[in-house]
Amino acid sequence: MLQIEDLQVSYGGIRALKGVSLEVGAKEIVTLLGSNGAGKSTTVRVISGLVIAQAGNIRFEGKNIKNLPPHKIQRHGLVHIPEGRKVFANLTIKENLLMGAYYTRAKSELSRLFDRVYDTFPILSSRSQQLAGTLSGGEQQMLAIGRALMSKPRLLIMDEPSLGLAPMVVADVFRIVEKIRDEGVTIFLIEQNANAALRIANYAFLLENGVISLEGPGYELLTNPKVKQAYLGGVSE
């Protein structure tokens, strides 16, 4: 569904990505792991058009989307939930969701999209007129996911969805990620929480210093000694 080939990005004289190649299969959860500074967020920001790539190719459902403007990439069905959620704090929950449905004009379709989000996140329905800035971190993450679903994504990029959340809330977020995948949306998950991400991932890539150093099914990386030592605290099952 998404193919990235030899992606290279530099900031000034610093090479952030040194030839990243990976593939995201349709209706799967694929996770990209790595420490701070490895290049994870740069990778997804290039995919979604927020950062210009100096070299390489990005194809989504067979179409070349490399260096397209972000709004055109979104209209292709590739939607990015940024790190830190980035909800509109001074708008209500309902108004935030409407921002996600910016290109949707048919009232009947808009109603269906609201029903889908409210079915996934009932708390958003009961508090639809509450300002987003007054929500807890977990509730804001639900809103960010809901806003993205209003865009009718076929592939959803989620950048550090567990960041700053309590463990119990993190578990809820990952259950929701699985539910969205089961409904037919492909998920490209960027995470530092390797343990949680690998437990739900169909496939995983490890990014180190701007290059992919390891890849395989999620369960294989979960038991890989290198991954255990570096990202799972050396814990064995």
- When computed from its CA atoms, the radius of gyration of the chain, rounded to whole angstroms, is 18
Domain of residue 132, residue span:
2-231
pLDDT at 233: 61
Joined together, the tokens standing for residue 215 give: 């890849």
pLDDT at 13: 83
Evaluate whether residue 32 is within a structural domain: yes
Evaluate whether residue 237 is within a structural domain: no
Q: Which pLDDT tens digits describe the chain residue by residue (237 residues)?
A: 999 999 999 988 889 999 999 999 999 999 999 888 889 999 999 999 999 999 999 999 999 999 999 999 999 999 999 887 789 999 999 999 999 888 776 667 898 999 999 999 999 999 999 999 999 999 999 999 999 999 999 999 999 888 888 888 889 999 999 999 999 999 999 988 888 899 999 999 999 999 999 999 999 999 998 888 877 765 444
Domain count across the chain: 1
Torsion of CA 221, 225, 226, 227, to 10 degrees: 40
SS3 call for 55: strand
Evaluate whether residue 98 is within a structural domain: yes
What is d(CA 177, CA 183) in angstroms, rounded to the nearest whole number?
A: 10
pLDDT at 12: 84
Evaluate whether residue 36 is within a structural domain: yes
Evaluate whether residue 236 is within a structural domain: no
Evaluate whether residue 131 is within a structural domain: yes
pLDDT at 235: 47
CB atoms near residue 88 (< 10 Å): 14
Residue with tokens 């530092």: 192
CATH number of 65's domain: 3.40.50.300
Question: Which residue, 227, 228, 206, 237, is CA-closest to 20?
Answer: 206
